[in-house]
Amino acid sequence: MPLIFLLFGTCNADLQTRESGALTRTIDALIIDGRSLSELAGYDISKLRLFSLKKGALTPIPFQIDQRDADDNWVWDMESGAERTRDNEDPEGRKIFDANDLLVFLAKDAGDRIADGVPFAAMELVVEIALKEPARGARGWVYLAYFSATPPALSGRRYVRYEKDSKTVTSQTYSFSYSDQHLAVMDSLHLNGRAILDRTKVRGRVKAGIAFFKFNIEFNEEEVGGYVDGYINGPVRTVKRSIDHLNLGGGLRTPDVFCDHFFYPGYAEVPLLLSRNFAVEKIALRVTADYFGGPFTRVYAEGLADPVSLEQEYADQNVLGGVMNARWVALDGPGGSVVTLLKVPEPIKSHILISPWLVSNPTANYTPESIMGADPEAGFSVETGEGFPSGDYVLHAVYLLSADPYQSSDSAHGMELLHDPITIETRRLR
């Protein structure tokens, strides 16, 4: 039976378009919680389908429902000891869409708007989801439908995949792998099939004191302890949660904090824990990626008039030390590009100082790394400033990964992704 017949009770595969979709932003993931889709509360997730209209044909697109339990904890596809693979709000043997569950899909799959009056014959319920780019006003639409009878097949496309045994997330453009020895270290990144990463790095210093007793503690990524709680292995994104703490030496450690890792087809969000308790006065961090093998030839940064050439060494000097308030750094080469940004929680945005970091020295020894040199090492330095509030905060280093050489639109899209998200409106049609 033709799909269009199943959906609309007609064999006409050329559906009338009310408005044409024209989104220019393609890497964005759209995440909508159940409160914004209240019409679907209590419905079986297995009978939900997401569609878009392109070239007159309505076709299923990849999506996932990330469930959360009554305590707002992720419900895992794969657990690592917590065994939380079932939503405690669901009836036995069923998965039900509720208010704290999340619909996830990609902006690139949005299409045209279906003309009013189309008979949705086989669908019990249909919600139109309208997307709009704030800066340009470009729009696109998708349609979330519930089928009381047997639904049509899901989309066969899968954008990301997680392999538990190898601890690897793979998309069409990249693959990331985690270290077997160190929880906070990502020690493999392949871009367009080429290995480009030594490891992700965090180098920090904590200034603390009680009364007249003052001391400094230095740490690195290998001193982050904890364990992995579980994974969501969806077709649109992979979610990994680690329970992290920082070992400060002498038996001291920070409290455990939930740190969520997100992987999408075009970008990854890697968590960075910033913890300030009563004794901590100031924290300084450097969060970077240490690349190797010379895959990049130049570096761009916000506020930098011309790119920095990587054809020479810069010893241990931060080449971008004179660039103030840069919010992105981009590495470029014939084999692809990586744009790095920092995603900062709202409560601390006005209380931290962020500056870009770039060192290129293939022969230096940067302990405790096993591979010599930085070729280059790029990212950001972060310092807590005046009025930084006590508490635990999770920042994210956001890596936009492309198999193509860098273009200015890449960093522009990264800034929009973090600071000017696509807006969403929903409307029930049936």
- Picking from 285, 264, 263, the residue whose alpha carbon sits closest to that of residue 276 is 285
Which amino acid is it at 8? Answer: F
Q: Are 199 and 208 in contact (CB under 8 A)?
A: no
Write out pLDDT tens, residues 228-258. 999 999 999 999 999 999 887 777 788 899 9
Write out pLDDT tens, residues 87-124. 999 999 899 999 999 999 999 999 999 988 776 778 89
pLDDT at 211: 64
- Picking from 295, 332, 346, the residue whose alpha carbon sits closest to that of residue 411 is 332
Specify the domain boundaries for CATH 2.70.98 within the chain: 160-419
pTM greater than 0.85: yes
408 Cβ partners below 8 Å, 6+ apart?
none
Q: Are 56 and 17 in contact (CB under 8 A)?
A: yes
Rounded CA-CA distance 160/172 in Å is 8
Q: Is the pLDDT of residue 368 over 60?
A: yes
Output the six-digit token pair for 350: 């006005």
Q: Which single residue is written with the structure tokens 């990849």?
A: 62
Percent of the chain with pLDDT over 90: 67
β strands within 111-266, DSSP E: 113-114, 125-132, 139-146, 160-163, 168-171, 174-178, 186-191, 194-195, 197-210, 213-220, 224-233, 238-249, 252-253, 257-263
Mean per-residue pLDDT over the chain, rounded: 89
Write out pLDDT tens, residues 312-331. 766 678 999 888 889 999 99
* pLDDT band at residue 9 under the 50/70/90 scheme: very low
209 Cβ partners below 8 Å, 6+ apart?
215, 279, 281
pLDDT at 426: 97
* Overall residue count recorded for the chain in this entry: 430
Cα atoms in the 13 Å half-sphere on the side-chain side of 366: 29
Q: Are 58 and 13 in contact (CB under 8 A)?
A: no
Output the six-digit token pair for 296: 């990049």
pLDDT at 226: 92
Write out pLDDT tens, residues 400-426. 999 999 999 999 999 999 999 999 999
The secondary element (H helix, E strand) that includes residue 172 is: none
Q: Is the pLDDT of residue 372 over 60?
A: yes
Q: Are 340 and 399 in contact (CB under 8 A)?
A: yes
Assign domain 160-419 one CATH number from 2.40.50, 1.10.3470, 2.70.98, 1.10.3720. 2.70.98
* pLDDT band at residue 7 under the 50/70/90 scheme: very low
Mean pLDDT of 48-65: 94
